[in-house]
Structure 1
Amino acid sequence: MSGREKTPLGPLTLPGTVAEHEHRLGAHGEEIEYLSGAVGSIGGQVTKIVDWLETRPGGPWSWRTLDREAAKELWMELYDWVNWLRDRYLVALTDETHRLINDWYKHPVAVELLTALMVSHQYVYRRTRAAPSFDLVEWHERCLWPTFARMRSLGLFPANHRTDEPWTPEAPLKRVDDSGNFADFLVSDLEGRPEPAPGGGGAS
C-alpha cells in the first residue's frame, strides 16, 4: 500500500468526474459504432468477392476462360515452374522419355498436362501440409513420371528433335462444325424429359 493519502471526492468534484466519464463513454461509443460499420462494410465486400468467385466461369488454371491479364500471369508462372522442373529433374536424366523441348509451350496438350502437374505440385508442397505423409512420393509416382510417359506415348513432340532446336507444331486438323446436328439431337433429347416442377428451379 502506498503512503500517499487519497483525496476524497467532494460534492463539487463528483459531478465533474461523472461528466468526464460520460464524455469518454460517449466517445468510445462513437468509435465502436464506427468500427462496427467498418466491419460490416468489409463483410459486405468479402461476400461480394465470394459471390464473384463462385459465379466466375472456370478457375485460375482454366486456360479456356482466362482473360488477357490472368493468362499472362499463368503463362509466366508455368514457364518459370517448368524451367525449375527441367533444372531440378530433367537435365539429370538420360532417358528419352523425360525429354522436354524448349518450345513445349507451343503444344496445347503439353500446356494443359504441365499446368495440371504444376498445380498438383503446389498442392502437395504447400506450407500447410507439414505433417509427414506419402504425398511427396505419390506426386512423383502418380503425377511427375506418368505425365512425361503420357506425353511421349501421345507423340506430342518428335522423338529425334533436339531440346534446343526450334520447333513448329504441325497445323492441327480442323474440327468439322456439327452444331446443326447437335441442335437436332438436343431438341430430341429434351422433348423426352419432363417439365421442371413449379418453383423447383430444375434438378437439385
Structure 2
Amino acid sequence: MMSVPPYRPGPFDWRHLDQQAASELWVELIDWVEWLRERYDFGRDIRPCWFRHGALVEELTAAMVAHRSSFQQTKDPYHHGPAAWHYQVLRPMMARMPAITDFEQCTQDTCGFTPARVHTLTTIAEYVDADVRQRSESPESGFFADRDSAAAGAAATLSMEKVITAIDNGTAVAEDPSDDFSAVSLDGARYEYDDEAGQYKRTE
C-alpha cells in the first residue's frame, strides 16, 4: 500500500520554523544578504526593505543555501562550485526579480509594498471530495501498484552511462538537474551515486 511519507522540514523551511530556529535563520540570512548587496552592487536591485517581501525572502534563502553548498564542496568545482552558482542561481534569480516581488513603491528609506490578499474559493472542499470519490478504493491496482511492481524488478546498480541515457530519453528523472551526480528515479526505484563504486546504487 502506498502512502505519503511524513515530511521532515529542514532548517531553511520558513513555514515550519519555531521561534528559535526562525531567529537563527534571520541572523544568518540578513548577514548574507547584506554581503550580497554590497559585494555585487545590488543595492538598487534588492532594496533595503527586502525582508518585508515574503517571496523574496524565500528566494534569497534558497540562494544562500545553494551558495553555501557550492562554495564548500570539492567534488566537481566547475559543474557544482562557485561558477555554477553564479550562472545557475544568482543570475537567473536577479533576472526574475521583477516577477519575484514588486519594488516599484519602495525607496531607499521606505517600503511601499503591500502583499496581495490570497483568497481561496469556498468550493475547494467540494472539489476535493469529488476528486477523491472518483478514485479507486483499492491500493492494489492502478499507478502505485504498477510502480511498486516495477520497482521490485529494478536493477540494484546502474552505470553512469545508463543513467545519462535514461535521463536523456526521459525514462529517468534527476532530483536535482543542476547536479551531475544527483539521485535519480528510474523504473519506480530511486538510485544514488556511490563515489567509491563509481556507479548508481538503488536505495528504495
Give the TM-score normalised by structure 2: 0.57
User: Is the CA contact 1:57–1:65 (under 8 Å) kept in the aligned structure 2?
Assistant: no
Residue correspondences, number: 140
CA deviation vs aligned residue, 1:58-81 (integer Å, no higher than 9, x gap): 111111222221111112211111
Matched residue, 1:147: 93
Matched residue, 1:118: 64
Does 1:60 pair with 2:11?
Answer: yes
CA RMSD of aligned residues (A): 3.1
Larger Cα Rg: Structure 1 or Structure 2? Answer: 1
Matched residue, 1:48: none
Does 1:103 pair with 2:54?
Answer: no
CA deviation vs aligned residue, 1:57-111 (integer Å, no higher than 9, x gap): 211111122222111111221111101111111258xxx6xx1111212222111
Matched residue, 2:32: 81
Between the aligned partners of 2:87 and 2:107, the Cα distance in structure 1 is 26
Between the aligned partners of 1:155 and 1:63, the Cα distance in structure 2 is 17
Between the aligned partners of 1:123 and 1:151, the Cα distance in structure 2 is 22
CA deviation vs aligned residue, 1:126-185 (integer Å, no higher than 9, x gap): 2x5387535211111111111011122x16123363233223323323233413311321
Q: 1:179 to 1:111 in 2, by over 3 A?
A: farther
Matched residue, 1:172: 117
Between the aligned partners of 2:65 and 2:89, the Cα distance in structure 1 is 11
Q: Percent identity?
A: 30
Between the aligned partners of 1:132 and 1:121, the Cα distance in structure 2 is 13
Relative contact order higher in (CA < 8 Å, ≥ 6 apart): 1
Whose strand proportion is higher, 1 or 2?
A: 2
Which structure 2 segments of 5+ residues have no match? Answer: 152-204
Which structure 1 segments of 5+ residues have no match? Answer: 1-53
Q: 1:174 to 1:132 in 2, by over 3 A?
A: closer
Whose helix proportion is higher, 1 or 2?
A: 1
Between the aligned partners of 1:158 and 1:168, the Cα distance in structure 2 is 7
Q: Secondary structure of the equivalent of 2:135?
A: helix
Q: Secondary structure of the equivalent of 1:189?
A: coil
